[in-house]
């Protein structure tokens, strides 16, 4: 049985990454939607393990958008470097 996809939670995502339009303290599920839109697929459980300063608000874990985007960009660039290194090693 496949897992249900997350609804957008009223997030209107622009085609280009614009932090001013996104929520300042997104929930984990909103982070999954943002990451899937701008960086690629990721699971909710993966984001739970990220070293962010989580704050529980009304039973929802939230974190600062700036820290989330910095960590997402860092991991995205690291994945590209690993792929390039593996490709060069195969040649």
Spatial separation of the C-alpha atoms in residues 64 and 34, rounded to whole Å: 13
Is the pTM higher than 0.85? The answer reads no
Q: For 15-31, how does the pLDDT look when each residue is reduced to its tens digit (9 = 90+)? A: 888 899 899 999 999 99
Spatial separation of the C-alpha atoms in residues 21 and 12, rounded to whole Å: 8
| Highest mean pLDDT (candidates 11-15, 18-22, 65-69, 85-89) | 65-69
SS3 49: coil
Query: For residue 5, is pLDDT > 60?
Result: no
Helix, strand, coil fractions of the chain, as percent rounded to 5: 45, 10, 45
Q: For 28-60, how does the pLDDT look when each residue is reduced to its tens digit (9 = 90+)? A: 999 999 999 999 899 999 999 999 999 999 999
């Amino acid at each position: 049985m496949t897992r249900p996809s997350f609804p957008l939670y009223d997030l209107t995502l622009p085609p280009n990454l614009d932090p001013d339009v996104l929520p300042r303290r997104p929930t984990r599920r909103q982070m999954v939607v943002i990451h899937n839109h701008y960086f690629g697929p990721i699971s909710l459980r993966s984001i739970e393990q990220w070293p962010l300063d989580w704050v529980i608000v009304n039973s929802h874990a939230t974190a600062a958008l700036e820290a989330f985007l910095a960590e997402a960009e860092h991991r995205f660039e690291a994945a590209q470097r690993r792929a390039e290194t593996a490709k060069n090693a195969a040649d």
